[in-house]
């Protein structure tokens, strides 16, 4: 099995380097690195977005939770679909017209505060690190479980390839790698799953006949099959998706706002296709794999069902698909967070971008080394919950409410983010706080919205000058705007206003 697994992993790593290095127009300027020179077709962009969204949590964690916790976990993919609907309805077109490349850019442009930009960058970094650590830990689990080698080899492999691709061509190179790897992992996961199902003759009725293993909820309500637990996850996914830094930057890789909207529609279609994967492996894992952790069930499935050469080959394919998932998400998050950090600290261009990317990846590796492996779904939900309690209120109010002020936004960030972090830390430390221990999103999101609205109303003098012009830029169709003032239509524009 070790040979098949290492061969599959090596194939994906080499493919990632080749695709990333082969991309044309790799480093002609800052806009190439930050937004792929705005030349990505909508369906290609949709594949890249879906690739970074179908991370370790989607490929391994959700299927494992379905296998161990039962049918309520089937609602988890619905949260992602709902999130993209919210983005399409409320965010895509206005944010694309604003001309800001990152979430901190938007905060400064809309509210006129450099300090708020730096504050927002801290939360971008926290969210990004949660996603990065989830992918690195999952890569270590694959290597340890299937080969017996030290987990750090999995971290190092993902980190090295991702860094090479990101430094070679920024978001353009990462986009190419992600789009190719989405189709690779879709074919692999669906193909292996269907093959296992067909050869085993698993009956759908077994889903209802056998009991499920119990267990306590993980961080941010992950794995809780109760109605409050499932609703918490749906809320975090639906509202947190719009504030993910690696998703928002995708709105600028298309040529115009129409292309950005088509990218989100394409993403929804591809996500719907991929949503067959977790239930398929969840059912098979429930019937054929017992006693394993949630993130391990998918990986152990072929060998448990088909001992011998067939099982080894199928396991090697799954390892390749899993590493495609790790690389896709890690690359997107790394480039988005590195771009936000470099623009906020120096705004010096490609060199600062590359330095920031390296620093962010190093921080993620250190955190991975000093923390114990956690379920990928739990870590991703922590990032989504934090996003829902910070950037979701900023985007909704900043786009649709002209009276928002920098003081209000800062208060919302501090309270929403603070409540989320406090609940997660207390849960990790074993401090009992009732229902609040496991469910940060239903508490933190209303607190953040209330703080932003309340503080903004009592600081009316801090409403930025020119807010009417900003609202018009965001809400008027592109064809009605002056090309000289419509920044996203300019080929060499910068992220900073």
Whether pLDDT at 208 is above 60: no
- Could you tell me the pLDDT band of residue 158, with boundaries at 50, 70 and 90? very high
Higher pLDDT, 395 or 344: 395
Whether pLDDT at 145 is above 80: yes
- Could you tell me the pLDDT band of residue 34, with boundaries at 50, 70 and 90? low
Least confident of 23-32, 143-152, 242-251, 327-336: 23-32
Whether pLDDT at 379 is above 60: yes
- Residue 492: the pLDDT is 40
- Residue 26: the pLDDT is 47
Give the residue-averaged pLDDT of 164-189.
86
- Could you tell me the pLDDT band of residue 479, with boundaries at 50, 70 and 90? low
- Could you tell me the pLDDT band of residue 139, with boundaries at 50, 70 and 90? very high
Whether pLDDT at 478 is above 60: yes
Higher pLDDT, 202 or 167: 167
- Could you tell me the pLDDT band of residue 436, with boundaries at 50, 70 and 90? low
- Could you tell me the pLDDT band of residue 67, with boundaries at 50, 70 and 90? confident
- Could you tell me the pLDDT band of residue 490, with boundaries at 50, 70 and 90? very low
Whether pLDDT at 302 is above 50: yes
Eight-state DSSP code of residue 464? P
pLDDT in tens, 319-360: 999 999 999 899 889 988 988 888 877 655 778 888 889 999
- Could you tell me the pLDDT band of residue 414, with boundaries at 50, 70 and 90? very high
Give the residue-averaged pLDDT of 137-166.
92
- Residue 171: the pLDDT is 76
- Residue 31: the pLDDT is 59
> Please, what's the b/e burial string for 393-408 (b: 16 or more CB within 10 A of its CB; e: otherwise)?
bbbbbbbeeeebbbbb
Whether pLDDT at 482 is above 60: no
Higher pLDDT, 251 or 141: 141
- Residue 246: the pLDDT is 84
Tokens of 308: 């011998």
Global pTM reads: 0.89
What is the distance between the alpha carbons of residues 480 and 179, in angstroms, rounded to a whole number? Answer: 33
Give the residue-averaged pLDDT of 101-124.
91
pLDDT in tens, 440-451: 889 999 999 999
Q: Which of 369, 378, 416 is nearest to 395 (CA)?
A: 416
Beta bridge partners of 433: 435
Whether pLDDT at 415 is above 90: yes
- Residue 353: the pLDDT is 82
375 C-beta neighbours (distance < 10 Å), count: 25
Tokens of 440: 């940060």
Cα torsion 334, 157, 382, 417: sign:
negative
Give the residue-averaged pLDDT of 299-309.
89
- Residue 8: the pLDDT is 92
- By residue count, the chain amounts to 497
Cβ contact 83:241 at 8 Å: yes
What are the sequence ranges of the domains in the chain?
A: 2-374
Give the contacts of 24 (CB within 8 A, at least 6 positions apart): none
CA distances for 70 relative to 54, 253, 254, angstroms: 20, 39, 40
- Residue 495: the pLDDT is 35
Render 110-146 in DSSP notation, one character per residue: HH--HHHHHHHHHHHHHHHHHHHHHHHHHHHHHHHHH
- Residue 75: the pLDDT is 83
- Could you tell me the pLDDT band of residue 317, with boundaries at 50, 70 and 90? very high
- Residue 491: the pLDDT is 39
- Could you tell me the pLDDT band of residue 489, with boundaries at 50, 70 and 90? very low
- Could you tell me the pLDDT band of residue 485, with boundaries at 50, 70 and 90? very low
Which H or E run contains 260?
helix 257-274
Whether pLDDT at 183 is above 70: yes
Mean per-residue pLDDT of the chain: 84
- Could you tell me the pLDDT band of residue 213, with boundaries at 50, 70 and 90? low
Render 312-367 in DSSP notation, one character per residue: HHHHHHHHHHHHHHHHHHHHHHHHHHHHHHHHHHT---HHHHHHHHHHHHHHHHHH
Give the residue-averaged pLDDT of 52-59.
82
CATH number of 2-374: 1.20.1730.10
Whether pLDDT at 483 is above 70: no
Whether pLDDT at 309 is above 70: yes
What is the distance between the alpha carbons of residues 259 and 229, in angstroms, rounded to a whole number? Answer: 36
- Residue 493: the pLDDT is 39
- How many percent of the chain have pLDDT more than 70? 86
- Residue 494: the pLDDT is 36
Whether pLDDT at 469 is above 80: yes
Give the residue-averaged pLDDT of 22-49.
69
pLDDT in tens, 4-24: 999 999 999 999 888 877 654
């Amino acid at each position: 099995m070790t040979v098949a697994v290492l061969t599959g992993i090596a194939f994906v790593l080499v493919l990632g380097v080749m695709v990333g290095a082969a991309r044309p127009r790799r480093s002609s300027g800052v806009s190439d690195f930050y937004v792929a020179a705005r030349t990505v077709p909508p369906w290609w962009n949709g594949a890249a977005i879906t690739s970074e969204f179908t991370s370790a949590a989607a490929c391994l964690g959700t299927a494992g939770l379905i296998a161990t916790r039962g049918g309520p976990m089937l609602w988890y993919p619905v949260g992602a679909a709902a999130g993209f609907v919210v983005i399409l309805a409320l965010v895509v077109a206005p944010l694309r017209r604003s001309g800001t490349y990152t979430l901190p850019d938007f905060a400064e442009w809309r509210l006129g505060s450099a300090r708020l930009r730096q504050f927002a960058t801290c939360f971008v970094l926290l969210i990004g690190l949660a996603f990065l650590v989830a992918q690195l830990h999952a890569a270590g689990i694959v290597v340890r479980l299937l080969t017996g080698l030290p987990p750090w080899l999995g971290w190092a492999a993902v980190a090295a390839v991702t860094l090479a691709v990101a430094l070679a061509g920024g978001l353009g190179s990462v986009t190419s790698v992600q789009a190719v790897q989405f189709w690779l992992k879709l074919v692999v996961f669906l193909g292996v799953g269907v093959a296992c199902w067909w050869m085993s003759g698993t009956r759908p009725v077994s889903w209802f006949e056998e009991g499920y293993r119990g267990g306590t909820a993980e961080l941010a309500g992950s794995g809780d099959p109760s109605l409050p637990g499932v609703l918490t996850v749906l809320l975090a996914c639906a509202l947190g998706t719009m504030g993910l830094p690696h998703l928002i930057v995708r709105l600028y890789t298309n040529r115009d706002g129409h292309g950005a909207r088509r990218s989100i529609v394409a993403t929804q279609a591809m996500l719907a296709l991929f949503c067959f994967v977790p239930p398929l492996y969840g059912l098979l894992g429930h019937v054929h794999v017992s006693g394993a952790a949630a993130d391990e069930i998918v990986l152990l499935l072929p060998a448990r069902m088909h001992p011998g050469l067939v099982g080894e080959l199928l396991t090697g394919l799954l390892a390749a698909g899993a590493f495609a998932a790790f690389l896709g998400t890690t690359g997107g998050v790394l480039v988005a967070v590195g771009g936000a950090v470099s623009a906020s600290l120096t705004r010096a261009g490609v060199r600062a971008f590359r330095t920031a990317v390296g620093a962010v990846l190093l921080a993620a590796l250190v955190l991975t080394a000093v923390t114990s492996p956690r379920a990928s779904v739990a870590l991703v939900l922590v990032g989504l919950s934090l996003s829902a309690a910070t950037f979701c209120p900023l985007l909704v109010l900043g786009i649709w409410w002209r009276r928002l002020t920098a003081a209000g936004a800062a208060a919302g960030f501090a309270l929403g983010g603070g409540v989320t972090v406090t609940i997660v830390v207390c849960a990790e430390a074993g401090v009992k706080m009732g229902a609040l221990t496991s469910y940060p999103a239903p508490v933190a999101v209303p607190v953040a919205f209330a703080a932003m609205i309340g503080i903004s109303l009592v600081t009316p003098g801090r409403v930025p000058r020119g807010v009417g012009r900003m609202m018009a830029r965001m809400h008027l169709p592109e064809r009605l705007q002056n090309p000289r003032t419509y920044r996203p239509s300019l080929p060499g524009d910068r992220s900073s206003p």
